[in-house]
Amino acid sequence: MTAESGKLLELYMAEGDDYESKPLYEAIVARCRELNISGVTVFRGLEGYGPTAEIRRARLLSKDQPIVILIVEQAQVLEKALPTLTDMMGSRLTVLSDVRMKRVQKSAG
């Protein structure tokens, strides 16, 4: 099993952020499928804060929890998708890192 070079894109937002009348995280996942990204995972945080230092957490009647989307992909695929995704993010935080990827496949038998 050999490792290959890849990129990790982390997208940080709030649960209530939207894009073209739908939740931003849903719009990004849909766009990633259109862009043939091999996989995307969305995480909902329990609590957090960003540049404004405003605490974001679960509340009974509001959608204010932090959301993080992780995308791990081959560098050339992610570099091609990056302008579209960062445009959707607006002024929110994105982090791009180099990673070494290993795909684990269960052997037959």
Q: What is the pTM of this model?
A: 0.85
pLDDT of 2: 77
Helix (H, G, I), strand (E, B) or coil at 19: strand
- Please report which confidence band the pLDDT of residue 60 belongs to, taking 50, 70 and 90 as the band edges: low
Q: Where are the domains of the chain?
A: 10-97
Smallest CA-to-CA distance from 63 within 16, 24, 26, 19 is with 16
Phi, psi of 28 (to 5 degrees): -70, -45
- Please report which confidence band the pLDDT of residue 45 belongs to, taking 50, 70 and 90 as the band edges: confident
pLDDT of 49: 74
Phi, psi of 84 (to 5 degrees): -65, -45
Phi, psi of 101 (to 5 degrees): -110, 145
Q: What CATH code would you report for 10-97?
A: 3.30.70.120
